[in-house]
Amino acid sequence: MSANRFNAHARLGVGLGLRAPHVAQVLAERPAIDWFEVVAENFMVDGGRPRDTLERVTACYPVIPHGVALYLGAAQGLDRAHLARWKALVARVRPPWISDHLCWGSVDGGTSHDLLPLPYTPEVARLCAAAIREIQDTLEVPFAVENVSSYAEFRGSTMPEWAFLAEVAEKADCGILLDVNNVYVSSVNHGFDPRAYLAAIPAERVAQLHLAGHAAQHGFIIDTHDRPVAEPVWQLYAETIARLGPTPTLLEWDAELPSLAALAAEAARAAAILATAGGDAR
């Protein structure tokens, strides 16, 4: 059962990513969405409409900030100024948990604005775990680390991705945001069995799940978040829920954004799967 200390024992059901084109409708109509995930960095501003939106949505819905720029695997360590921004955001939102990705993206003060893959080694796992421990100590809120989709593997890797993710989570004593679509995308790109990956994840640490759509290319898959969840991913999601029990789930959709009603319909499919696995997860 994935109501655990890594998600503050919250039973949130299925959430949506809050996107700018839907904000006015969300605030005006208060649709029956279980919760919203926000891209944390979009709200690390000191005024104006983003701050107002965050306050108003947080007053109506559970909101989980999801980061894209902590860069846990940056060789030069965490950006403390960014951690301070996180501290201010957590104070405003008071979320039950927060999350960011198991990746790197900046070096020497320059940034890629991307979630870049890491070599999977015990040394790099220790580096990431130390960063997460500092985050949890500083922010005093449970942290869930997310597996990224990737298109490259490193010559220096000495362990599979799933063992790396589990080792980071164990060493950091943190939660896992298991992105089922990312597992599938990487399994196709790197030729591994996604079920072996999912079976190796410590169930008791899974705080949240992600679902999203992807685009197939010639021999590989790009994680585009611009279309419905693919059928193989739905199948993996159902199997994951059967193993974990009802787990807070977030449907990601970032480009070619459909109507809020269409997103809610997609979310309803996830909610039905949650319900079959253990009753109403809300």
Which residue lies nearer to other proteins by CB, 9 or 49? Answer: 49
Least distance between other proteins and beta carbon 100 (Å)? 12
Site string for other proteins, 124-163 (x = CB under 8 A): x--x-----------------------xxxxxx-------
- Please give the structure tokens belonging to residue 7: 């998600």
The residues near 27 (Cβ < 8 Å, ≥ 6 apart) are 53, 56, 57, 60
**Cβ atoms within 10 Å of 140's Cβ, excluding its own:** 9
CA distances from 250 to 12, 35, 108, 163, 269 (A): 10, 9, 33, 24, 12
- For other proteins, give the closer residue by CB, 34 or 161: 161
Tokens 């559970």 appear where?
62
Q: Is 123 in the site for other proteins (CB under 8 A)?
A: yes
Q: Which of 107, 196, 200, 265 binds other proteins (CB under 8 A)?
A: 107
Chosen residue from 28, 29, 94, 110 binding other proteins by CB under 8 A: 110
Taking phi over 0 as left and psi of -120 to 50 as alpha, with beta for the rest, 256 belongs to: left
Contacts of 189 (CB under 8 A, 6+ apart): 149, 150, 151, 220, 221
List Cβ<8 Å contacts ≥24 apart for 26-29. Answer: 26/57, 26/260, 27/53, 27/56, 27/57, 27/60
Is residue 193 near other proteins by the rule CB under 8 A? no
Q: State how far the Cα of 21 lies from the Cα of 2, in Å rounded to an integer.
A: 32
In whole angstroms, the minimum distance from the beta carbon of 69 to other proteins comes to 4
Instruction: List the one residue from 80, 113, 137, 140 that touches other proteins (CB under 8 A).
Output: 113
* 172 is a site residue for other proteins (CB under 8 A): no
Taking CB under 8 A as the binding criterion, the range among 3-11, 45-53, 198-206, 273-281 that sits at the site for other proteins is 45-53
Nearer to other proteins, 5 or 49 (CB): 49
Q: Closer CB to other proteins, residue 36 or residue 71?
A: 71
List of residues 6+ apart from 272 with CB closer than 8 A: none
Three-state DSSP class for residue 36: strand
CB of 191 to other proteins, least distance (A): 6
With CB under 8 A as the contact rule, the residue among 28, 29, 32, 47 that binds other proteins is: 47
The answer to whether 21 contacts other proteins (rule: CB under 8 A) is: no
- Tell me the closest approach of the beta carbon of residue 190 to other proteins, in angstroms: 6
Which residues of the chain form contacts with other proteins (CB under 8 A)?
Answer: 41, 44-52, 69, 73-76, 79, 82, 85, 104, 106-114, 116, 119, 121, 123-124, 127, 151-156, 189-191, 218-220, 222
